Amino acid sequence: MKELNDARYMSVGGIMECYNKPLEIYNYETLKDDPLIDVDTIGLKGSPTNVYKSFSPPVKGAGMMMEGADKATVEKLVSILNDKHII
């Protein structure tokens, strides 16, 4: 199951075949006369995405760098986290 989500790469022959294949373009003009497609489901009017509200996240303050890798530095970090009621 580990390789289940791994994408397979195209072969060189498959890549070269793509250069010669014509592209089929589907737009409103080609789809509007199709009896199986409802015109109200094409384009912006038929888009299921509706954005009700968008926002930018608030700007956070600068981080704090701590020097050292000893017990005093750890105690200082624990003290800061306790003061802010994080731990």
User: Residue range 80-86: average pLDDT?
Assistant: 92
Domain limits, the chain = 10-48
pTM for the model stands at 0.33
At residue 12, the pLDDT reads 93
CA dist., res. 32 & res. 28, Å (int): 6
Question: Mind listing the pLDDT tens digit for each residue in 22-60?
Answer: 988 888 888 888 888 888 888 777 777 777 899 999 988
Nearest to 64 by CA among 52, 56, 51, 73: 73
Helix (H) or strand (E) holding 83: helix 71-83
Residue 41 burial (C-beta neighbours within 10 Å; 0-12, 13-18, 19+): exposed
